[in-house]
Amino acid sequence: MKKLPLSKQFFDVLIRENCVYVDKTEKIYQLISQYERNAFYFLARPRRFGKSLLLSTLSHVFRGHRGLFQGLWIEDKLPWDTYPFPVIQIDFNTIDYINKDLNQMLCLSLDQMAEGYEVQLSTNSSKNKFIELIEKLYQKTDRPVVVLIDEYDKPLTRLFGANGEHLDKLKYHESILKSFYSTLKSRASQYLKFTLITGVAKIGKLSIFSDLNHLVDISISEEYATLLGYTQEELEHYFSDYIDQAATHNQISREDCLREIKYWYDGYSWNGRDFLYNPFSTLLFFSNMEFNNYWFDTGTPSFLINLIKQEKISPLDLEDLLPASSSLVQSNEINALEALSLMYQTGYLTIRQKTLHRGIPHYQVGYPNEEVRQSMQKHLFVAYLNHRETTFKTVLLNQMQRALQQKDLDVFMDIFKTIFATIPYELFIREEIYYHSVAYLVLKLLDYPIQVEVQTQIGRIDAILQYENRVYILEFKMTTPEDALTQIHQRQYYQRFANQGKEIYLVGVAFDHEQKNLGEWKVEIWEGGK
């Protein structure tokens, strides 16, 4: 059984160490064969989605390393006798632009590449070195040059939301990169064969997307929708033995195991039709054999969460599919730092549906899977409640769970009030949506089956919490608990549970805006569930 390619971003290392390689070389062949010269492509994908491995694979293709592709689709398809081509590969994952000067580090990187080809660069700026390297490689080899740039936007996206000294660094990086990338439309561009730029999003300030009118954005291309990530077919073909092992380890059937893997790690799409597994999380699952959240990154910028709050996007809204403009999906512009745009670029939202109306595409975006949903909820929990999630889970959450076990709703609601009471005064927003958001986040972390904003034929139920043979129907109001219970009865929210043999608890809760907390609550038991 081949090894899992954990932390393997270099194609040659992956192959030589006998790791699983999901063969994407047919798509790569299509990409590099469309144009003989001057092919310029851009691909946006979230972090940890295989961009670096793709560029490494392309590098070895253009360097003519045919032996690495033995048994792969592309092995006998390329005219290998016309290879290799000189390759300039720039990886912003490996360039220290935080502690050192970006221009100097780019110059150092270009000098090292030049040394590898036994050429010397005499210019000083990163832009001029880039131009000089392209020209000298062409002159030395008499072959057009390939340029591969990984995470081209990282020196900027790492600093989004910055202020003070970091804001100055952000502006400096913008100026350096704008000048550096202008090389691709300079006189040196005539010596280029193929260019692929990857990143999280398009950034208009760098101008390469407006100035390079021949740059082809394949981010939402139908043809390359599955270039990165694992399709269902690929998952079952390349990881079949690991699926069986995971099923055995978790004491479930293969079918149930596949269903759970899909629930946790599938769901990414850039055309609304082909859905993909996150490679990073899928590999970690097969390594650990446990369904867990591997994608969560504590480094997710706090300014993204602040944008969600500023734009009054409720966590409840994020549970549903959200309509998205074609500009959000197609242009990927994030200059305005809009919350939904950033969530889409960073992988918290993906295209769930795409429809055409008179030839114009319309999109709906949503969470791709349970792992991402949990990741966002963790961030929102900290932002809305000012709690570290671990503290909440070890203390208050256990108390709430114990209260449910003992059918003591008064204690349950008292703990709920305690949580509200710990939220700093300045975090409160006057709108009712804030109170609903906090209540939702707390209930979601109980780890019990819970549905929020449940649509019925005659209205929406705020929350349904199920525990053992009990169902709790909760309605929250800014007025009185009686009003909340009245709405439950008028709209007969409990009818969906009629004759199921369950205990049905109707819980009406009032928010107290003056105290910035939960106010009174009332509980009724509906006898029609048995």
135-183: pLDDT as tens digits = 999 999 999 999 999 999 888 888 776 665 677 888 899 889 989 998 8
pLDDT-based confidence at 14, cuts 50/70/90?
Answer: very high
* pLDDT of residue 378 exceeding 60: yes
Q: Say what the pLDDT of residue 315 is.
A: 79
| Residue 486 confidence (pLDDT) above 80 | yes
> What pLDDT shows up at residue 194?
96
pLDDT band at 340 (very low <50, low <70, confident <90, very high): confident
Calculate what percentage of the chain has a pLDDT beyond 90. Answer: 52
Beta-bridge partner residues of 276 = 268
Mean pLDDT of the chain: 87
Number of C-beta neighbours around residue 114 at 10 A = 18
* pLDDT at 63 (0 to 100): 98
Q: What is the pLDDT of residue 86?
A: 98
Closest listed residue to residue 271, CA positions, set 326, 230, 323, 220: 220
**Given this model, what pLDDT does residue 97 score?**
86
Per-residue pLDDT, 282: 98
Cα separation of 102 and 98, whole Å? Answer: 8
Angle formed at CA 257 by CA 256 and CA 258, multiple of 5 degrees: 90
3-state secondary structure 389-404: HHHHHHCHHHHHHHHH
Does residue 56 register a pLDDT over 80?
A: yes
pLDDT band at 187 (very low <50, low <70, confident <90, very high): confident
pLDDT at 530 over 60: no
Is the pLDDT at 459 greater than 90, yes or no?
no
Find the mean pLDDT for residues 415-421.
82
Which range, 273-287, 325-339, 373-387, has the best average confidence (pLDDT)?
273-287
200 pLDDT exceeds 90? no
- pLDDT category at 21 given cuts 50, 70, 90 is very high
Domain architecture of the chain: domains with CATH:
11-217 (3.40.50), 232-288 (no CATH), 302-370 (no CATH), 386-529 (3.40.1350)
pLDDT of residue 526: 87
Residue 225: what pLDDT? Answer: 96
**Tell me, what's the pLDDT at 469?**
87
Q: In terms of DSSP bridges, do strands 360-366 and 350-357 run parallel, antiparallel, or are they unpaired?
A: antiparallel
Over range 384-406, report the average pLDDT. 73
Which position has the higher pLDDT, 258 or 39?
258
d(CA 325, CA 400): 41
The residue written with tokens 């959240």 in the block is 293
**Residue 515 pLDDT more than 80?**
no
58, 251 Cβ separation under 8 angstroms: no
For the range 182-185, what are the long-range contacts, defined as Cβ-Cβ under 8 Å and sequence gap of 24 or more? Answer: 182/127, 182/207, 182/208, 182/211, 183/127, 183/130, 183/131, 183/134, 184/40, 184/147, 184/208, 184/212, 185/211, 185/212
Give residue 309's pLDDT.
76
Higher pLDDT: 229 or 420? It is: 229
Per mean pLDDT, which range of 56-65, 335-344, 388-397, 417-426 is the poorest? 388-397
* CB 340, CB 263: distance < 8 Å: no
pLDDT for position 278:
96
pLDDT computed for residue 125 by the predictor = 93
Query: 477 vs 21, which has greater pLDDT?
Result: 21
Kindly state the helix (H) or strand (E) to which residue 42 belongs, with its residue range. Answer: strand 39-44
